[in-house]
Amino acid sequence: MPHDFDSTVLREYDIRGIIGETLGPDDARAIGRGFATLLQRDLGDDVTPLVAVGYDGRVSSPILEHALIEGLTASGCNVRRIGMGPTPMLYYAEASAEEVDGGIQITGSHNPANYNGFKMVFRGRPFFGADIQALGRLGREADWLDGSGEVESLDVMDAYIDRLMTGLDGIDTGALAGLSVAWDAGNGAAGPALERLAARLPGQHHLLFTEVDGNFPNHHPDPTVEANLEDLRTLVAEKSCDFGIAFDGDGDRIGAIDGEGRVIWGDQLLMIYAEDLLGKLPNSTIIADVKASRALFETVEKHGGKPLMWKTGHSLIKSKMKEVSSPLAGEMSGHVFFADTYYGYDDALYAGVRLIAASARLGRSVTELRGTMPAMLNTPELRFQVDESRKFAAIDEVKTRLTGPNVPADVEVNSTDGVRVTTPDGWWLLRASNTQDVLVARAESETQDGLDRLMGQIDEQLSLSGLERGDSVGH
């Protein structure tokens, strides 16, 4: 039987939809059949593929897991069930075992409780873009292989925690006896793993909301929204913690605050990680997305690294890391990727361990490291609705206007991902989202007057394309 997916479900970096409306068990089954077919055709007829499957703490996840496994086995894949846990635990199960050919995590990430979806790894590389569209084509044509795969269950959490602890290799853990850290799992899938990790880390650890609850009763698990860090900020103050760490719903994105309650944004965390890593691996290429602060790229240069600005999107960043052999990369959204002594995927629990290690190696508290960062004025990520048919065209129009002969000599235009324009006031960005019908804007300056002028330039360019910013919309 052919299967048609809802037009909103097959996205650029993952598969995501609303349970009971745009996504359900039939879709999960078709995803399993399509993924298994692609893997079998890639490996050849004489190999039986093995796929690791995990899921997050959402109410709908077990139902989708059951249907996904039905699809995978019906098209001839063997399945290794690793149970509920954070997305990076699934990545670990795929990356650490030679016999595993692919991995699928059922997760709605940081989306509301009625969403769910799938993140996938295909023979060690991200599965996105044209790969995901291929699942749609296979479904429409019912072009699936038939087979009969087997299912095994394997508990990998203890091995995963062991691997996380290697982030402290070379650190005198005895010197960290006085360390105090607050953690907020946000009732997401990382909670049980965090409990086991914190029990083994040196110092004192205070945990919030580690009980997995797919209804997210305390706050929404998106650490890039400052309001979601209030409980963590309160705990840091009450317990006089050195810093605090928060996770998103599936544990692949990190948020942080220092001991004074100041947010440490994704690009600022990357500044700390970069300084630490470049002390060991000088001249390394460090990648950040186009939304990152100028201060980050300058910090990488200052400490002897090569900064590389790249496109937003965790799959795109991971692919670029492999291409240029980068040991470290990150995004404003809190995805941080370590490939120096780790696997190159985004793991917020490992990033938390590496923050402890970086502070110890650099000999400065996280609060001190945050306090010495340049004081930049920047907007949050501004997202506003634009018709799907206009969003990329509008960016092209802006690009054309800003690369003409009348552009001032002191204006630099970077078109890596949308348009990032650097002027004497700072920089501003306009890019089209790959996953929604929105444009994304951001600006940064050293002064409020400069920031106001930059925002004026964004508004001017939008106006010339018949658009306006309007009210910002959510993720």
| Residue 475, pLDDT score | 45
Domain 377-464 falls in which CATH fold? TATA-Binding Protein (3.30.310)
**d(Cα 77, Cα 62) in Å, to the nearest integer?**
19
Tokens for 191? Answer: 């909670």
| Residue 412, pLDDT score | 93
Report CA-CA distances (Å) from 404 to 399, 408, 411: 9, 10, 11
Ranges assigned E (strand) in 107-191: 115-122, 125-126, 151-153, 180-184
CATH, range 15-155: 3.40.120.10
| Residue 13, pLDDT score | 84
| Residue 471, pLDDT score | 54
**d(Cα 294, Cα 370) in Å, to the nearest integer?**
16
Catalytic residue among 60, 109, 359, 465: 109
Phi-psi region of 459 (alpha: psi -120 to 50; beta: other; left: phi over 0): alpha
Contacts for 187 with CB less than 8 Å, ≥ 6 apart: 57, 209, 211, 212, 213, 214, 215, 216, 217, 218, 221
Are the beta carbons of 281 and 361 closer than 8 angstroms?
Answer: no
Where do the domains of the chain lie?
A: 15-155, 160-371, 377-464
471: helix, strand or coil: coil
Tokens for 435? Answer: 């996953």
- The answer regarding whether domain 160-371 maps to CATH 3.40.120.10 reads yes
Q: What is the DSSP string of 457-469?
A: HHHHHHHHTT---
Report CA-CA distances (Å) from 353 to 128, 165, 180, 327, 360: 28, 7, 13, 17, 11
57: helix, strand or coil: coil
Q: What residue has token string 């235009």?
A: 413
Can you list the residues of the chain whose pLDDT is less than 70? 470-475
Rg (alpha carbons) of the chain, rounded to whole number: 22
**d(Cα 435, Cα 111) in Å, to the nearest integer?**
13
Same fold, 15-155 and 377-464: no
What predicted TM-score, i.e. pTM, was given to this entire model? Answer: 0.95
| Residue 177, pLDDT score | 96
Q: What's the pLDDT tens digit per position in 204-217? A: 999 999 999 999 99
Name the residue type at position 192. Answer: P
Q: What's the pLDDT tens digit per position in 375-427? A: 899 998 898 899 888 999 999 999 999 987 878 888 999 999 999 999 999 99
Are the beta carbons of 110 and 253 closer than 8 angstroms?
Answer: yes
Q: Is 148 a catalytic residue?
A: no
**d(Cα 33, Cα 138) in Å, to the nearest integer?**
9
**d(Cα 423, Cα 227) in Å, to the nearest integer?**
32
DSSP 150: -
Q: What residue has token string 């078709």?
A: 30
